Structure 1
Amino acid sequence: MKGSLQFTFYDRIKDMHRTNQEVPSQLSTFQYVYASAASKVMSMLIMYPTQVIRSRLQDYNPHHERRTISTICKKIYHETGWVGFYRGISANMLRVVPATCITFVSYEGVKAALQKKRFN
């Protein structure tokens, strides 16, 4: 789900860049970096709470009370409010966003090279 959301945002941002150009063509490296970083950040902002909940569900401690998604959500919200659902997101972004940018720029470069070779 997270990946499909990111690709949806990525394609939409690329389309917006192309419609802003006088002659739609391949985007610049900076535009690909921007599209990949923005799409990753947006998808993380939407999906990160599910990762927090999942990690709490997977946390094994035999003295914990019964753990369900609803009890975990209530506990997080009562302890820290909405901020608790985003705890650790900044460190995760610092780790993941640069790798995402490199992956997407590499993907676009290889894709352009293969298309150029195919049509020549």
Structure 2
Amino acid sequence: MCSKTAVAPLDRIKILLQAQHEHYKHLGVFSGFREIVQRENFFALYKGNLVQMIRAVPYAAIQFTAYEQYKKYSEESFKKCSQVNGFLAGAAAGVTAAATTYPLDTIRARLAFQVTSNPYYSGIKHVAVRMLKEEGGLRALYRGFWPNMLGMMPYAGFSFYTFEKLKYLSIKYAPHYLCSEHKTNTNSLILNIPAKLLCGGAAGAVAHIFSYPLDVTKRRMQLAMMNPATYKYASGMLPTLRMIYTENGIVKGLYRGMSINFLRAVPFMAVGFATYEVMKQMLHLDTGIRL
């Protein structure tokens, strides 16, 4: 909840740029902010954030809990492949959490994509009811599911792996600068808050490079039925990927909005991982790292 609220305005700009909304597709990050405030109002920057909060609690709870369980299992099963344990556990945890909460992600994208002057939906319930009635039932809420799952594997895998790797390197090579004076009950070192934020932000930046084209594909499919001109993007993952590449290329198509995604991903992952680590320490669940 902390991390999602911190980047909610950037999230909305990203969705508008990814799906190339008619009012915002020609704008950049800062000009997009100004246009939203002028065309709608300041609170429009947080449009769709309520459902994001509803989704954030089970998503993060499932993801981090599943990560710890998968990591424990992978360490027992792949003792000779310790380098890949974090990646495999992170990928599996991301897929588990995303699959469980995907309909809420679709609803949130629909609410964030509409503009105040021409509202398509009146709220969370209205989105769900209209999609179920008009777009083919429960299947509509899962449109874009497969690119999301395929993108989630490198995204979550690299984010957890990178965070754990940077955490280990920080403690090993710069403990005087990056570690807290307090130690765990196992006499192991733990990162200080700035180091947690730094490692989390770097993890987010690395993870998004590999998964972003599939994230764009997912958004196009989720929002396809809101405009007759975009119905073609509801045909499937591979056709949508091909159309995005054919029509807009790589930079302006598959990586559309990537710059704002970096601005969003770094604070989002930084706050998320830092909060997670702090909560583990408060609940005496963090054993730290022994070198």
So what's the TM-score if we normalise by structure 1?
0.74
Asked whether the equivalents of residues 87 and 161 of structure 2 are also in contact (C-alpha less than 8 Å), the reply is yes
CA drift of 1:44 comes to 0.5
1:86 matches 2:142: yes
CA drift of 1:89 comes to 2.3
- Look up the equivalent residue of 1:47 and give its one-letter code: T
Of the three residues 77, 84, 89, the one matched with 1:30 is 84
State the match for 1:10 in structure 2.
67
CA drift of 1:19 comes to 4.8
CA distance 1:18–1:81, change in 2 (3 Å): same
The total of aligned residue pairs comes to 116
Asked whether the equivalents of residues 17 and 27 of structure 1 are also in contact (C-alpha less than 8 Å), the reply is no
CA drift of 1:7 comes to 1.0
1:44 matches 2:102: no
Q: Which runs of structure 1 show a deviation greater than 6 angstroms over 4 or more consecutive aligned residues? A: none
CA drift of 1:73 comes to 1.0
CA distance 1:62–1:36, change in 2 (3 Å): same
Looking at structure 1, the residues matched to 151 and 80 of structure 2 have their Cα atoms a distance apart, in angstroms, of 28
RMSD between superposed Cα atoms in Å: 2.8
Residue identity over aligned pairs, in percent, reads 26
Looking at structure 2, the residues matched to 3 and 63 of structure 1 have their Cα atoms a distance apart, in angstroms, of 30
Looking at structure 1, the residues matched to 156 and 119 of structure 2 have their Cα atoms a distance apart, in angstroms, of 38
Cα offsets for 1:54-106 (capped at 9, x unmatched) = 12223236263x52222211111122221111111222334443132222112
TM alignment of 1:58-73, pairs within 5 A? 58=112, 59-60=114-115, 62=118, 64=120, 67-73=122-128
Asked whether the equivalents of residues 75 and 85 of structure 2 are also in contact (C-alpha less than 8 Å), the reply is no
Looking at structure 1, the residues matched to 69 and 107 of structure 2 have their Cα atoms a distance apart, in angstroms, of 29
Asked whether the equivalents of residues 107 and 124 of structure 2 are also in contact (C-alpha less than 8 Å), the reply is yes
State the match for 1:109 in structure 2.
165
Q: Tell me, what secondary structure is at the counterpart of 1:28?
A: helix
CA distance 1:41–1:111, change in 2 (3 Å): same
Q: Structure 2 unaligned segments of length 5 or more: list them.
A: 1-56, 174-188, 190-289
CA drift of 1:114 comes to 4.3
Higher RCO, 1 vs 2 (CA within 8 Å, ≥6 residues apart): 1
Looking at structure 1, the residues matched to 125 and 160 of structure 2 have their Cα atoms a distance apart, in angstroms, of 36
CA drift of 1:3 comes to 2.8
